A and B are shown apart, each in its own frame.
Chain A
Amino acid sequence: GESVGLHLPTLSVQEGDNSIINCAYSNSASDYFIWYKQESGKGPQFIIDIRSNMDKRQGQRVTVLLNKTVKHLSLQIAATQPGDSAVYFCAETVQGAQKLVFGQGTRLTINP
């Protein structure tokens, strides 16, 4: 099936541990951010978003943190499970642009 590139940054974690995936975004004017998950052979899937007027947002087992001072975004996954194995992308946009700019992605692998 469709797959992402072979030379992505990789994060390996033990099943049950917490995972932290980082993203440095490029545009200081960006005010909306999204994390996507892409499993092998599939299209990217929306996980969680955050607006620039927030520092933190929580979902089910996931938390996104935004540090606008250093243009840094992170995705925390609690109690990582085998089904979390995927490539994770951050995306940014400026309000009104209706277009996203994607980071290169990080491959998360889960060790049993």
Chain B
Amino acid sequence: DAGITQSPRHKVTETGTPVTLRCHQTENHRYMYWYRQDPGHGLRLIHYSYGVKDTDKGEVSDGYSVSRSKTEDFLLTLESATSSQTSVYFCAISLQGAYEQFFGPGTRLTVL
């Protein structure tokens, strides 16, 4: 699992509530990513980070924000969760100069 953990692993919340998902890595990799996985859409990039405090948007960033205040942690926040954000969220890391990404175990989020 390349030393990647995600927390929580499962969460049920209500529409309109804020939610923060955490990705933690133990190996000081520079690049970190957040994806969501939905039926019929595969894996879609939400946001990614290329260093501490350096982040950029992916293809489905609306409604999400991220923060990376230290190398090992990459946080994904849903400021006001909506039912359309019910999904499985995966964090991934990659080494600088390498293209392959290694994934965490995922977080299943249900927004009621």
A residues contacting B by CB (< 8 A) are 1-7, 32, 34, 42-46, 49, 89, 93, 95, 98-100, 102-105
Contact = CB atoms under 8 A, between A and B. Distances in A.
A43 B33 CA distance: 13
B-side interface mostly: strand
Chain A to chain B: the 5 pairs with minimum beta-carbon distance, closest first:
A5-B39, A43-B103, A2-B106, A102-B43, A104-B42
A102 B36 CA distance: 12
B37 interface: yes
A-side interface mostly: loop
Interface stretch (B11-19, B62-70, B72-80, B93-101): B93-101
Given A98-B31, A104-B42, A32 B99 contact: yes
Given A4-B37, A43-B90, A103 B101 contact: no
B58 to A, nearest CB: 7
Given A98-B31, A98-B94, A105-B42, 5 more contacts: A3-B88, A5-B37, A43-B92, A45-B103, A99-B48
